[in-house]
Amino acid sequence: MHFPQLAHPCRGLAQARWPWVIAALILAIHGLVAWAGGPQHIPQWYLALGLRREAVLDGALWQVLSYAWLHGSWPHVITNALCVLALGSRVEQILGSRGFFTALAAGVVGGACGHLLLADGGHDAFPLVGLSGACVAMLLIITTLSPQARMFPLPVSGRSLGLGVLSAAVLLALADPKLGLPGIAALGETLAAHGLQCWFIIGHACHVGGGVAGYGYAKWILRPGPTLKGLRHERQRREAQNS
């Protein structure tokens, strides 16, 4: 599959259904947040619904799902809405509506697990919010199902893009200076010293979890199907049990 022109992706967007609903939903939710004064005026929403390791350990298990529907700013939510449209429309086209929602759920839960396992979980850590874990999951699904495809508009194959995105997310997640991991923390400190501290505000650990979940879902889809030999063996086994 090659996309030398805009016609194919635009046609996919026009035919998409649920990605438009999800994109509109997260935009509407953030519109409500902005109407209420923004995140700084309603911190209780983010403390209750954003993802925090301390809260999850105390029993707030709903945060594993709820964090994805809040966002920190308009650029944040608009970026995720565009990713849902661009990537989700392709996933829906390949896997159907059920496959799209499975990918979305896998990315949200996988992103939460990645954040809980890899990210800084200190008391002063800001709650994780955003749908980007699901977006990375859908990207990895597309690149795993179509490893040789050229990922329009980038002149790279699906395999290269998926591997590059996931590798970068792992590296940046582990290099977070707040984690203090021996050796790799020096990379994070160097980046921060050169004015790139903002890189570590992004939920890289969430992206790692979402990407792994998307890759695993795609591999499950590609698993070998039943063979004639296997079906015959299973039939003989059942007949032997019933005899």
Residue 86, domain member (yes or no):
yes
Please tell me the pTM assigned to this model: 0.84
Return the CATH number at 231.
1.20.1540.10
How many domains would you assign to the chain? 1
What Å distances lie between residue 199 and 146, 147, 194, CA to CA?
Answer: 29, 28, 11
∠ Cα 194 79 178 (to 5°): 35
Provide the residue range defining the domain that includes 27. 7-242
Residues 163-184 pLDDT 10s: 999 998 988 888 887 777 777 8
Residue 2, domain member (yes or no):
no
**Cβ atoms 29, 70 nearer than 8 A:** yes
In the prediction, which pLDDT does 155 show? 72
Residue 156, domain member (yes or no):
yes
In the prediction, which pLDDT does 3 show? 45
Distance CA 232, CA 210 (A): 39
